[in-house]
């Protein structure tokens, strides 16, 4: 399993807005509209017509009504959009009456929240950014006047102060959504110079409403991601990074809520996006330490308790009952607020996990040289290992108490030690399924029973996935970047124990059985998390050089998993994992079991008519596994398995077909596959020659 890449458009943050500020509440509103309003297609034409009315009250009403209609049902929304709704709303952004502009901005934001590329693309093509840029310049003056206590008489928009914060939030959210549409749109936004506008909110956080701060942070987090133009604006204003760091370090003693935490986590993400340009006043490494410590504190949320609370709350209410109990404009009940809060915490947790994975991916790579020097010095330090034979301990104790404390004094490596001593145990805990994490497994072709709280279930499953991905990034860093595989060599017992726990987690996720790539209805996330766990096990196996605590039938379970899955990426991970396990000495029967399985895959290449069931990736991984396993005749299993079972003859028999398969791959269309198979074929030819020479010498 490769490192989890930094997601360019950061969809988690985007979905976070949809879930935290929109999902459960909007679910209630949509049902209200569907049942009480009973929207009809005949409502559309009056709305479109009234947007061009001479009466500003009617124009404002039409924009507000359009907002309700687009939320009611897709058919009505499509009809409105076909009547050129977006163009009409954008034209009204320059309306002389503020109430009309306010309603149009709100409706446009609701359209972007639907998350369809075509909607945002049409807004851009209809030149929404020109009037938005004008509005930003005006609201900046209004907010500045408001915060300085200057009379509203000098405001450039009359009457805007009464709802300026909601108005501002809506504009920022539109920009945020548009920035995720395409590079062309993003470049245009870059030229609007919105960074000073957004950063101004963080210089006076105590005076700015939380929802506005959240919107500004989300927008900044998106536009700073791999965006050299925006990075240049931060380089010209180095004080901005310290402003963001001040927000992360801000102590909130009263009325702490989810939005406070979300703002801080997003600021961590913005700083991480700027990591490559951070210089003074503090080095980038030190910033990363502060960020890592804060993100680590976000992992303390107990997802099992949250799942149980969500089920208890859901048992007392039904979303369909909200329509009859509460008019549209009523505030959510205490039960509804509880569900919204639980989901908010889960989505914030997802973001924290993504950022920690990013720290593994980027920060450790940047500090590779320093880490290697430190690890070399550490070789002379005695390790205090608290693991004892046959003693069972909790994962927190098992993982935490075995790590070398001496590195904690090295400021450049506090992050490394935090992962080793604390974060890994948290990641394992957060990977463990709760009672609400996945829909019940009812069998093939059975209509799934929906979770009692579907949104919470989706969020829990995503937390598990992000935790596993973060773990794998740490393991990969320890295997591929840090010299001598520090975590695996200095804390081998902890690594072995982690293997055992991840195998247990994989069994729990698999439940009654899952066919990855062709999951039963409602079970896709179960399959996705299971595949991620297998990727983690592959990396752990590499780090431990195959020296992991296998239990009875575990190898056979991996083989059976390969046979039951239709996901090629899952199959590659299983072949890779088995290939590492097979390299153990003093385990000839295990090697024979794995060797027979992998050579069986390769033997299938002798009949090209069966190639449809075998991917290029699986072919290459199988060949590479054989090359690695049987690379030396001195391995105790080489003669009884490779030689006596006739593997060399099998490899010779399929060499020409491997060459033909390789040549059949279009280098222009599938460059990576072609390069991988070119390498595999060249290695196959050399390996056959090597093994022949080896046997001749013998």
CATH number of the domain at 93, please. Answer: 1.25.10.10
Mean pLDDT lowest among 461-465, 611-615, 618-622: 611-615
Shared domain for 161 and 194, answered yes or no, is yes
pLDDT score, position 610: 62
User: What is the SS3 assignment for 452?
Assistant: coil
DSSP string, 378-408: HTTSPP-----TT----HHHHHHTTS-GGGG
Tell me, yes or no, whether 68 and 174 share the same domain: yes
When pLDDT is cut at 50, 70 and 90, the band that residue 697 belongs to is low
Residue 127 region, left (φ>0) first, then alpha (ψ -120 to 50), else beta? left
With pLDDT > 70 as the criterion, what percentage of the chain qualifies? 81
What the block records as the tokens of 165 is: 């914060």
Examine residue 372 and state whether it is found in any structural domain, yes or no: no
Nearest to 486 by CA among 395, 359, 383, 389: 383
Residue 114 lies in a domain: yes
Do 190 and 301 lie in a common domain? no
Q: Is the dihedral of CA 243, 246, 248, 252 positive or negative?
A: negative
**Whether the Cβ atoms of residue 571 and residue 620 lie closer than 8 Å to each other:** no
pLDDT beyond 50 at 388: no
Return the structure tokens found at 627. 């090359």
Instruction: Give a yes or no: residue 170 inside a domain.
Output: yes
Q: What is the mean pLDDT of the chain?
A: 84
Please check whether residues 239 and 96 belong to one and the same domain: yes
Domain membership flag for residue 23 = no
> Angle of helix 164-179 relative to helix 210-223, nearest 10 degrees?
20
Domain residue limits at 461: 281-317+333-363+408-548
Summarize pLDDT for 6-36 with one digit per residue, the tens: 443 333 333 333 333 334 443 434 344 444 4
**Is 155 in the same domain as 241?**
yes
- Residue 459: CB partners within 8 Å, gap ≥ 6? 19, 343, 346, 347, 350
Q: Last residue of some domain: 263, 280, 297?
A: 280
Per the structure, the count of domains in the chain is 3
Residues 347 and 490 occupy one common structural domain: yes
pLDDT at 153 over 80: yes
88-135 pLDDT, tens digit per residue, is 999 999 999 999 999 999 999 999 998 889 999 999 999 999 999 999
Q: Are residues 544 and 630 in the same domain?
A: no
Alpha-carbon gap, residue 611 to 604, rounded angstroms: 8
Asked if residue 591 belongs to a domain, the reply is: yes
Average pLDDT over residues 311-318: 83
**Based on the domain organization, do 675 and 601 belong to the same domain?**
yes
Flag whether 55 is in a domain: yes
The pLDDT of residue 512: 83
Verify that 181 and 161 share a domain, yes or no.
yes
Q: Specify whether 267 is located in the same domain as 285.
A: no
pTM as predicted: 0.84
- Flag whether 49 is in a domain: yes
Per-residue pLDDT at 322: 39
Neighbours of 327 (CB within 10 A): 9
Query: Is 416 a residue whose pLDDT tops 90?
Result: no
**Residue 34 in domain:** no
Residue 604 and residue 543 share a domain: no
pLDDT score recorded for residue 59: 95
**Model confidence at 324: pLDDT above 70:** no
Q: 504 and 564: one domain?
A: no
Q: Which of 606, 609, 607, 584 is nearest to 594 (CA)?
A: 584
pLDDT tens profile 160-217: 999 999 999 999 999 999 999 999 999 999 999 999 999 999 999 999 999 999 999 9
């Amino acid at each position: 399993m490769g490192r989890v890449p930094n997601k360019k458009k950061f969809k988690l943050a985007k979905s976070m807005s949809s879930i935290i500020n929109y999902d459960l509440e909007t679910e209630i509103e949509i049902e209200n509209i569907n049942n009480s309003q009973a929207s009809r297609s005949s409502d559309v034409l009056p709305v479109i017509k009234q947007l061009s009315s001479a009466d500003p009250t009617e124009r404002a009403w039409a924009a507000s009504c359009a907002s309700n209609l687009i939320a009611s049902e897709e058919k009505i929304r499509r009809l409105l959009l076909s009547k050129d709704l977006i163009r009409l709303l954008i034209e009204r952004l320059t309306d002389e009456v503020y109430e009309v502009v306010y309603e149009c901005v709100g409706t446009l934001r609701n359209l972007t929240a639907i998350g369809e590329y075509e909607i945002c693309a049409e807004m851009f093509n209809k030149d929404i950014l020109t009037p938005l840029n004008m509005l930003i310049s005006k609201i900046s003056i209004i907010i500045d006047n408001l915060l300085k206590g200057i009379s509203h008489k000098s405001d450039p928009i009359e009457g805007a102060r009464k709802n300026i914060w909601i108005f501002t939030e809506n504009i920022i959210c539109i920009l945020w959504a548009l920035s995720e549409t395409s590079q062309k749109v993003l470049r245009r936004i870059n030229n609007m110079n919105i960074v000073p506008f957004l950063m101004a909110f963080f210089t006076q956080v105590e005076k700015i409403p939380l929802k506005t701060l959240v919107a500004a942070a989300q927008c900044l987090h998106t536009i700073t991601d791999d965006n050299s133009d925006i990075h240049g604006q931060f380089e010209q204003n180095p004080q901005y990074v310290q402003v963001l760091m001040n927000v992360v370090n801000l102590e909130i003693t009263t009325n702490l809520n989810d939005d406070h935490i979300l703002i801080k986590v997003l600021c961590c993400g913005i700083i991480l996006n700027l990591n490559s340009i951070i210089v003074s006043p503090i080095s980038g490494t030190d910033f990363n330490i502060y960020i890592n410590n804060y993100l680590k504190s976000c992992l303390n949320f107990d997802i099992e308790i949250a799942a149980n609370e969500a089920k208890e709350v859901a048992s007392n209410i039904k979303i369909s009952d909200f329509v009859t109990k509460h008019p549209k404009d009523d505030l959510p009940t205490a039960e509804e607020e509880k569900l919204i809060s639980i989901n908010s915490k889960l989505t914030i947790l997802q973001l924290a996990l993504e950022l920690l994975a990013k720290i593994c991916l980027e920060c450790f790579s940047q500090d590779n040289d320093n880490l290697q020097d430190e690890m070399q010095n550490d070789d002379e330090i005695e390790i205090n290992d608290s693991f004892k034979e046959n003693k069972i301990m909790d994962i927190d104790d098992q993982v935490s108490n075995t790590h070398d404390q001496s590195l904690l004094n090295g400021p450049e490596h506090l992050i490394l030690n935090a992962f080793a001593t604390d974060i890994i145990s948290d990641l394992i805990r957060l990977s463990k399924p709760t009672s609400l994490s996945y829909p019940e497994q009812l069998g093939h072709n059975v209509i799934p029973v929906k979770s009692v709280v579907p949104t919470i279930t989706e969020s829990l499953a995503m937390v598990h996935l992000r935790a596993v991905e973060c773990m794998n990034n740490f393991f990969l860093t320890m295997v591929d970047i840090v010299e001598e595989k520090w975590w695996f060599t200095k804390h081998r017992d902890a690594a072995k124990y982690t293997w055992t726990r991840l195998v247990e987690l994989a069994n729990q996720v698999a439940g009654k059985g899952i066919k990855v790539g062709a999951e039963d209805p409602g079970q896709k996330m179960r399959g996705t998390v299971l595949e991620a766990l297998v990727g983690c096990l592959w990396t752990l196996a590499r780090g431990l050089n195959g020296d992991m605590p296998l239990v009875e039938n575990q190898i056979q379970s991996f083989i059976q998993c390969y046979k039951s899955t239709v996901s090629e990426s899952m199959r590659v991970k299983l072949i890779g994992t088995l290939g590492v396990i097979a390299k153990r000495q003093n385990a000839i029967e295990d090697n024979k079991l794995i060797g027979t399985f992998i050579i069986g895959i390769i033997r299938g290449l002798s009949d090209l008519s069966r190639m449809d069931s075998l991917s290029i990736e699986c072919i290459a991984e199988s060949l590479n596994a054989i090359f690695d396993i049987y690379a030396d005749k001195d391995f105790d299993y080489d003669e009884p398995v490779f030689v006596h079972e006739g593997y060399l003859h099998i490899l010779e028999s399929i060499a020409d077909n491997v060459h033909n398969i390789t040549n059949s791959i279009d280098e222009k269309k599938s460059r990576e596959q072609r390069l991988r198979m070119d390498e595999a074929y060249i290695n196959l030819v050399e390996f056959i020659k090597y093994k022949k020479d080896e046997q001749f010498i013998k």
